[in-house]
Amino acid sequence: MLPIKEIWERLEGVDATREQVERAVVELEQDGIVVAVRGKRYSLLEFTPYHAGQIRVHPDGYGTVFGGGGEEPDVFIDRRSMKGAMNGDLVIVRVDKHAPKYHTIRQRKLIIGEVSQVLRRAHRTVAGRFHADPDQPYVTPFDTRLDHDIVIDHDGTLDARDQEMVNVEIDRYPDRTSHIARGRVVEVLGMIGEPGVDIELVIRKFHIPHLFPPDVLAAADAVPDEVTPDEIAKRVDLREHNIVTIDGETAKDFDDAVEVQQLPNGNYLLGVHIADVSHYVTEGSALDEEAFERGTSVYFPGRAVPMLPERLSNGICSLNPRVERLTFSVDIEIDRKGRFVDRKVYRSVIRTKERMTYTNVNAFLVNEGVAQPSGPPPHGVVVPDAAELRQRYGYLLADFTRMHELYDILRKRREARGSIDFDLPEAEVILDAAGVIDAIKPTERNVAHRIIEEFMLAANEVVASELVFANQPGIYRVHQQPDPQKLQDLREILREFKLTLRGDLEEMRPGELQRVLKSVEGTPEERFLTNIVLRSMKRAFYSEENIGHFALAIANYAHFTSPIRRYPDLIVHRRLGELIATGPLYGERLAEIERAHPLYAAQSSDRERRADDASREVLEWKKVIFMRDKVGDKFTGTVTGVASFGLFIELDEIFVQGMVPVATIGGDFWVFREREHRLRGESTGREMRLGDKVTIEVKSIDEDRHQLEFRLLEIGGSPIALRER
């Protein structure tokens, strides 16, 4: 433990004033690396009884500070020891030496501690429901993990109505001496149930930037809306090639375009052309800093929050039809066995021939006998008849036929190496013109989706290999080996369905999981078991270290194909641009990039998780809203989770989830058998298990918590007695 003066004196050979050293120590303290003990004497945190980390607060009020894995334990903090900390805050916690060493919760052992200091607040604003109490107005946070109501002064209500949803800026946080938070209303969002209010709430709950600052908009306005002749002259000119975009009906930003040629030697030449966003969003600019902060575009039903201003994302960066656009191109020569014979990455200029949709390409290929039918078109989409499609796109028939041939070759190559394909429909919310939910339908994935997916996978693999073989820094999309314990749990679940998971769990190969998925393809259990396999795997993330991608069974993989909506893709473009322009990096520039890449990777992973969580929450909320008028209706579904307190059920077709409380299931006393993932009747021996097919009745809806309660009517075709509560 050293005071500032002694720390400064010990820094021999460091050209820094005492004031600079003091500022540096304060920054380290704010980051939880050092801690002040015994007044102003500082110690590295690892040599103290303190821990630092983000606190995760459970809706019941207790908190956990994650230890970081490995030997470092998690720290459990009961509600009385929170000391004003709120969910997501960066905190210092002190381990309680006088408490029992471990507290067990959800089968995990956690060291007990209490919050000593809040280093950094996660919430400058909080969204919630306004209560116009005449004595003291207050706001109840929408996020159930924030259990402090926020007191609002009478002159800080912004004239919000009682029960209206608002956004509050916090002026005073709860602390050791007071559990009261104070703030003022800065936005009135509307009443729950009004179209769009749910999305506005979730955007603010997750602190997703949804308005561009004036300097960013000014920078976007300064970008020319046409490609200049001077820039065209510097690039490979592909404007006469049969290059097309293939996207969804509602897409507005097109960042990838493709073509396939047949070479004289019989091989295919796949061209993947990606919007050259890095030409317009330069390193260190206002546009770049805002893109880094956002990390990704966020997509909700009927709405998107873009990473880049619309002038760029829907304008000069978007590969709109029949206009010049700057691109990064990847040419891959592929033989008939799917081997990559040659490759080339370069800057180009293109002019796409058509703005194609997945639906039209699929219909065109099916009508011409190239592809097999793959289900009806998306809800509300009218497909032109065969004659009209042939008239509009007949000149591209040979191109689309080659695309389909190459797709089939690439798919077989990927399957042969053991790549896992989670090819299941998800729920899609269909909104009417007023923003009201019209339907929830399974998403359609036809052959056109799969063609583009295979081509993008190939381009991403080649680009990652370019960086790796040149020994240059990059941002890689990586996916780690599954945890052996989760694979053991998976093995036990599969055994219930008379399926085996073979091999060493420590060295599990993706091909074995692929084999299991293939074996259940087309069965009633396919969706359930595919999700179980998915849950047994770790989450993919971005890393400056190339550690491979387990699920794709590939050594080199990066995200390159979506720079309009993903920041790591933009970084990969910059690294490729430098490699093409000046060759491999070295010296100070290399050191600078290597210092920056861990931050880029961590930020990109964090922003991706935030976007996924926000999109998932809105989707679940939309599902609950859709079920409003269906209380009392009956549905079939599948048991997707078993707990001591009940069964989790996913309904067929619309993929809505709800719970059957065990207290409502009669006919026996039901005992939870955790390792077997089932409830067993003590008297009858009857069982309710994962994967069971059920019939339920919708009993009630809790819109605030996005929860549905079901009554269990039948399981496996047999009636179940109901217990009245």
Domain that holds residue 178: 125-191
* 114 and 139 housed in the same domain: no
Kindly state whether residues 137 and 113 are assigned to the same domain: no
Residues 167 and 99 in one domain: no
Locate all alpha helices (DSSP H) within 368-432, ordered by sequence.
386-393, 397-416
- Nearest one of 537, 526, 518 to 497, comparing CA atoms: 526
CA–CA gap between residue 396 and residue 415 (Å, rounded):
28
663-667 long-range contacts, CB within 8 A, separation 24+: 663/723, 663/725, 664/699, 664/711, 664/712, 664/722, 664/723, 664/725, 665/712, 665/720, 665/721, 665/722, 665/723, 666/720, 666/721, 666/722, 666/723, 667/720, 667/721
Same-domain status, 232 and 344: yes
How many domains does the chain contain in total? Answer: 5
The structure's pTM equals: 0.91
The amino acid present at 140, given as its one-letter code, is: T
Q: In this structure, which long-range contacts are made by residues 228-234, counting pairs with CB atoms below 8 Å and at least 24 apart in sequence?
A: 231/279, 231/326, 231/349, 232/324, 232/349, 234/347
Give yes or no: residues 144 and 259 share one domain: no
Tokens coding 40 = 């102003």
Residue 336 burial (C-beta neighbours within 10 Å; 0-12, 13-18, 19+): exposed
Q: Looking at the DSSP assignment, which residues form a beta bridge with residue 95? A: 113
Instruction: Select from 617, 644, 673 the last residue of a domain.
Output: 617
Within a domain: 252: yes
Q: At a CB cut-off of 8 Å and minimum separation 6, what does 226 contact?
A: 316, 323, 324
CA distance 53 to 45: 11
How far is 407 from 401, CA to CA, in rounded Å? 10
407 neighbors 451 (Cβ within 8 angstroms): yes
Integer-rounded Cα Rg, in Å, for the chain is 28
Identity at 257, one-letter amino acid code: A
Q: Which two tokens stand for residue 182?
A: 């104070």
Choose one of 576, 594, 617: the last residue of a domain.
617
In terms of DSSP bridges, do strands 50-57 and 63-65 run parallel, antiparallel, or are they unpaired? antiparallel
Strand partners, 329: 273, 346
Element (H, E) at 484: helix 484-496
Same-domain status, 240 and 272: yes
252 and 302 in contact (C-beta within 8 Å)? no
Distance CA 79, CA 85 (A): 10
- Under 8 Å between Cβ of 377 and 248: no
pLDDT (0 to 100) of residue 67: 67
Residues 119/50, Cβ–Cβ less than 8 Å = no
Cβ neighbour number for residue 606 with a 10 Å cutoff = 13
Task: Give the neighbor-by-neighbor strand order of the sheet with 268-275.
Answer: 236-237, 340-350, 325-334, 268-275, 256-262, 244-247, 354-357
Verify that 184 and 218 share a domain, yes or no: no
Structural domain includes residue 106: yes
Determine, yes or no, domain membership for 725.
Answer: no
**Adjacent-strand bridge partners of 275:** 327
Rounded CA-CA distance 419/569 in Å is: 22
- Whether 556 is in a domain gets the answer yes
Instruction: List the one residue out of 397, 345, 352 whose CA is nearest residue 243.
Output: 352
Q: What residues contact residue 214 under an 8 Å CB cut-off, 6+ apart?
A: none
Distance between CA 480 and CA 462 in Å, rounded?
20
What one-character DSSP code corresponds to residue 549?
Answer: B
Beta strands in 173-248 (DSSP E): 181-190, 236-237, 244-247
Are 113 and 91 a contacting pair, CB within 8 Å?
no
Indicate if 222 and 345 belong to the same structural domain: yes
What phi and psi values does residue 537 have, to the nearest 5 degrees? -100, 160
The 10 Å Cβ neighbour count of residue 528 is: 21
Mean pLDDT for back-to-back runs of 10 residues, the chain (725 residues): 67 71 72 70 72 86 75 80 90 71 55 87 95 95 90 95 96 86 96 91 96 97 95 97 95 95 97 98 97 97 95 96 97 97 97 96 93 80 90 95 97 95 83 84 89 98 97 96 94 92 94 94 87 94 97 97 98 97 92 95 96 95 92 94 93 91 90 88 90 94 89 86 56
Buried b / exposed e across 172-197, counting CB within 10 Å, b at 16+?
A: ebbeeeeeebbbbbebbbbebeeeeb
Task: Answer yes or no: are the C-beta atoms of 243 and 273 closer than 8 Å.
Answer: yes
Amino acid letter at 104? T
CA 718 to chain centre: 39
Q: Is 123:88 a contact under the CB 8 Å cutoff?
A: yes
Residues 14 and 105 in one domain: yes
My answer on whether 596 and 654 are in the same domain is no
Residue 694: CA count within 13 A, CB half-sphere: 29
196 belongs to a structural domain: no
Asked, for residue 324, whether it belongs to a domain, the answer is yes
Q: Beta strand pairing status for 427-431 and 256-262? A: unpaired
Tokens of 219: 């920078």
pLDDT (0 to 100) of residue 259: 98
346 SS3 class: strand
350: which strand partners? 325
Cα atoms in the Cβ-side hemisphere of radius 13 Å centred on 395: 7
Q: Is 115 helix (H, G, I), strand (E, B) or coil?
A: strand
- Boundary-marking domain end, from 118, 139, 173: 118
Same domain for 457 and 566, yes or no, is yes
The pLDDT of residue 725 is 47
Q: Does residue 175 lie in a domain region? A: yes
3 state SS of 426: coil
Question: What CATH number has the domain bearing residue 55?
Answer: 2.40.50.140
- 446 shares a domain with 499: no
Asked if residue 209 is part of any domain, the answer here is: no
What residues contact residue 699 under an 8 Å CB cut-off, 6+ apart?
631, 664, 709, 710, 711
Q: Check: CB of residue 598 under 8 Å from CB of residue 544.
A: yes
Strands laid side by side in the 41-44 sheet: 2-3, 41-44, 34-37
